């Protein structure tokens, strides 16, 4: 990713073009994050839009342009949680026909030019998205930010206003909970053609 500091600094000064460029470069990532969290295309689109509206309204309060990425994920994660609370439910467990803007990690398998392997990768992706909705919210957020968004533990701690140790603990227990869900469904490494 290129250095966005000049764009962020311009957006903080109120330059609409700079904010629009930031929104353009971050839209897919924020949409993917909200989609993985909510597991519903329409809701993710709505929450992504709300995230950027809130970011636009608050960009002048950002003191350190270098924190833009963490700051944007703070807004996105708070928007996801607020949306779930307002809907009065845990994020949906249904698997919608939506899309993810970038290739998922589980689709990047050796021999992915093989149609059978590609289909298995998509099926695994569907199962993983469903399994993620069944683990506790705070653990799911850490897994999504670390494994899918590539944030570091210090960045996640900043986003969630928690200590780094708390974040690492949530990651550990989240992965453990995810393994339990998959084990309950009788999904093993062998069943997903896992290769180390």
HEC secondary structure over 64-110: CHHHHHHHHHHHHHHHHHHHHHHHCCCCCCCCCCCCCCCCCHHHCCC
Crossing angle of the two packed helices 153-160 and 164-184, in degrees rounded to 10: 100
What was the pLDDT predicted at 187?
78
Q: What is the pLDDT of residues 11-41, one digit of tens each?
A: 999 999 999 999 999 999 999 999 999 888 9
Report which listed range, 21-35, 75-89, 180-194, is most confident.
Answer: 21-35
CATH of domain 1-92: 1.10.1740.10
The band of 185, judged by pLDDT with boundaries at 50, 70 and 90, is confident
**Rounded average pLDDT over 73-78:** 94
CATH 1.10.1740.10 domain residues, the chain: 1-92
Q: What confidence score (pLDDT) does residue 193 get?
A: 52
Residue given tokens 């993620």 in the structure block:
132
Average pLDDT over residues 108-129: 63
What pLDDT sits at residue 105? 44
75 pLDDT exceeds 90? Answer: yes
How far is it, in rounded angstroms, from Cα 97 to Cα 16? 34
Domain with CATH 1.10.10.10 in the chain: 110-196
pTM of the model: 0.74
Which CATH number applies to 110-196: 1.25.40.10, 1.10.10.10, 1.10.3660.10, 3.40.50.720? 1.10.10.10
């Amino acid at each position: 990713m290129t250095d966005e500091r000049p764009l962020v600094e311009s957006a903080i000064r109120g330059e609409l073009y700079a904010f629009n460029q930031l929104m353009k470069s971050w839209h897919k990532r924020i949409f993917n994050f909200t989609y993985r969290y909510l597991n519903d295309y329409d809701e993710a689109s709505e929450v992504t839009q709300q995230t950027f509206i809130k970011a636009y309204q608050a960009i002048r309060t950002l003191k350190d342009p270098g924190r833009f990425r963490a700051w944007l994920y703070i807004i996105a994660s708070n928007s996801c949680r607020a949306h779930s609370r307002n809907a009065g439910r845990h994020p949906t467990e249904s698997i919608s026909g939506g899309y993810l803007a970038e290739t998922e990690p589980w689709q990047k398998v050796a021999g992915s030019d093989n149609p059978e392997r590609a289909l298995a990768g998509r099926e695994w992706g569907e199962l993983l998205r469903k399994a993620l909705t069944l683990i506790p919210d705070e653990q799911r957020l850490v897994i999504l930010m670390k494994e899918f968004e590539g944030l570091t533990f210090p960045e996640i701690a900043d986003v969630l206003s928690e200590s780094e140790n708390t974040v690492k603990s949530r990651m550990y227990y989240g992965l453990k909970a995810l393994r339990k869900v998959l084990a309950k469904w009788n999904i093993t490494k062998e069943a997903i053609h896992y290769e180390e």
